[in-house]
Amino acid sequence: MLVPVPSVDLPPAGAYAPQLRVAADLLALLRDTATEPRTDTQLEALTLAVAADLPVLLWGEPGIGKTAALNQLATALDLPLTTVIASVHEPSDFAGLPVVGDDPAVQGVPMAPPDWAVRLVRAGRGLLFLDELSTAPPAVQAALLRLVLERRVGALRLPDGVRIVAAANPRSSAADGWELSPPLANRFVHLQWCHDHEVVVRGLGGTWPVAPLPRLDPERLPEAVAFARRAVCGLLAARPTLVHRLPGNEAGRGGAWPSPRSWEMALRLVAFATAAGTSREVLSMLVRGTVGDGPGLELLASLDRMDLPDPETLLADPAAAELPERGDLRQAVLDGVVAAVRTRPERSRWDAAWTLLVRALETGAPDLVVVPATTLAALRQEEWEVPAVIERLAGTVTLSRRADRAAARVAAGAGTAR
């Protein structure tokens, strides 16, 4: 039995059109936002890596603004943005589709590239954004190897004006996520992307930040290249085991780790960061994202030591010496001065070292001079008179020794109580 359906009076055609126009006005007001300058170390690191023509992989949770950052960067660099969702493509979309011609035995079978690659070649420049990389299956990751390293898609080679940036979610938050294969992971500069609470709140309130991009100083280019080569080569000469170190776990192999390829990338990034005069924080993000945390931190420490003043220069004019502010660097400088006196023990050099220690006492933490002063005192030869400046250090050394003895007594008492 059919139940009759009551008739409904429909509004006349076009009755909702005014409401849609009002909705469009409301959307326009929501999109009408202001901007303000704000330093962004993440975007600065990304910009330098893109400028260095290195593939970059942004790691971050879904919805934190990775795509928005790419749009801002493309606009600032005046590069057309091409987005390719890696996880919804087949391997042939990157390796090329075979096209059989009239006589394959003579002409071969060319690999036809996809339309987005053709558009990039025609434009001659652009920013290629490979999104959702961690949800691409292993077969697609294998096909991406040639694209990321050689910039080839099928039979086409992407122009030099094309830069490659990818984005991925951690496996724990990716839909059907995969770990990156070691060969693909080692081709990227890995940058951890996170949101800034203050930026989000101000942006939702109508004011979004615009970060000034780093600028390379043309006059510093030769100096930057020489500095980067000296830093990387000096570290690897002293630590040959760092040249290639494949992590032992799957997650580590899918991130940044040291290899000859990634050290070459690190060298390039150090040169670019030096030419741009970027902060230590930005440089740390870049080198750790290329060779991993451990080797990256060792490289940063090596860079710090390269900037230390020469002990011989300090001994030549100790009264005018400029010592580093950071405690670890100041300690390294004082130890280096004492080592220089031990290598060539002379009365004048011994006296100059004491003058330098007094200057360090006056301008920094007193405890930093205790060990160098004790070591320097042991280098005194019988015919050398004790300089008057030692009296200014005696109180500091004595107080330090008393503190050490007190700490030893406390430790011994705690051991007896147990």
- Tens digit of each residue's pLDDT (9 = 90 or more) over 324-373: 888 878 888 888 888 888 989 888 898 888 888 888 888 888 778 888 88
Weakest-pLDDT range from 18-27, 49-58, 103-112, 285-294: 103-112
Helix (H, G, I), strand (E, B) or coil at 308: coil
Mean pLDDT, rounded, for 156-174: 84
What pLDDT is recorded for position 101?
Answer: 62
What pLDDT is recorded for position 410?
Answer: 40
- What's the CA gap between 345 and 339, in Å, rounded? 10
Per the model's pLDDT, the better-predicted residue between 202 and 270 turns out to be 270
Confidence band, pLDDT 50/70/90 cuts, at residue 172: low
The token pair that represents 91 in the structure block: 């391997």
What pLDDT is recorded for position 406?
Answer: 39
Can you list the positions of beta strands (E) in 132-284?
152-153, 156-157, 161-168, 189-192, 207-210
Q: Give percent above pLDDT 90 in the chain.
A: 31
pLDDT of residue 401 exceeding 50: no
Contacts of 29 (CB under 8 A, 6+ apart): none
Confidence band, pLDDT 50/70/90 cuts, at residue 402: very low
- What's the CA gap between 43 and 213, in Å, rounded? 8
pTM exceeding 0.85? no
- What's the CA gap between 124 and 86, in Å, rounded? 22
The mean pLDDT value of the chain amounts to 83
SS3 sequence, 381-413? CCCCCCCCCHHHHHHHHHHHHHHHHHHHHHHHH
Query: Amino acid letter at 241?
Result: T
pLDDT of residue 53 exceeding 70: yes
Q: What is the pLDDT of residues 373-398, one digit of tens each?
A: 888 888 888 888 877 767 666 655 55
Q: What is the pLDDT of residues 143-154, one digit of tens each?
A: 888 889 888 888
pLDDT of residue 287 exceeding 90: yes
Confidence band, pLDDT 50/70/90 cuts, at residue 170: confident
Weakest-pLDDT range from 114-128, 180-194, 196-210, 280-294: 196-210
Q: What is the pLDDT of residues 296-319, one digit of tens each?
A: 999 998 888 777 888 888 888 888
Q: DSSP states of 15-59 as a string?
A: TTHHHHHHHHHHHHHHH--EEEE---HHHHHHHHHHHTT--EEEE
Mean pLDDT, rounded, for 16-39: 86
Handedness of CA 216, 217, 219, 220 (dihedral sign): negative
At 162, phi and psi to the nearest 5?
-95, 130
Confidence band, pLDDT 50/70/90 cuts, at residue 180: confident
DSSP bridge pairs for 128: 82, 164
Query: Amino acid letter at 229?
Result: R
